Structure 1
Amino acid sequence: MIKGLGGFGDMAKMMKAAKDMQDRMQKMQADLDTITVTGESGAGLVRATATAKGELTALDIDPSIFVPSEKEVVEDLILAAIKDAQRKAQDKMQSEMARISQELGLPADMKLPF
């Protein structure tokens, strides 16, 4: 005789939890496209804006730094601002992943997506 659903009930719960996790991961991936971070260098003379996925979306350069003899300094400031934005984007992505993991009751050190 079959007694109820037995292990199948647990399997259904696991499948639902997996589907919920997949839905949340897809939403988070979409959200990362809309979350922006701004990196800067030279005390704000150069600002780079990127999505939380690290895609550079804007670059703002104060015109006061455009002195021909300072070309290398300007280039260094631009690179530093971009790297700062990318680092902040990576940090934001990791914090969003950790938040989703916590909401799903997963271990804090579990790396998402699988």
Structure 2
Amino acid sequence: MHVDPLTATFAALADPTRRAILARLARGEANVTELAEPFAMSQPAISKHLKVLERAGLVTRTRARQARPCRLEAAPLKAAADWVAYYRAYWERSFDQLAAHLDELQLQEPSDERKD
């Protein structure tokens, strides 16, 4: 089953452990042992999280001697940010329209009060 990249990105970002791993990798490469340090979970559990991040294209692992350092791949995050920005613009337009409507109602209010 093929999952589109945006769905894979958001699914990977849904977990707080994976978001923390990405935050750590934003500071630079790290191996599984280094990534596991702040968590109360095993290295195999961290490896499972890394596999999800790899499938989403958010992390790559390279082979340097015996180590396999992980690196953040930010391109999928850009696609997710662009998607969110589109809807943010939609909501900003909607709020601007609501504000204009409320301003219009407030301008009409004094004339309505004079009729009573």
TM-score range, shorter chain: 0.3 to 0.5
Pick the structure with greater CA Rg: 2
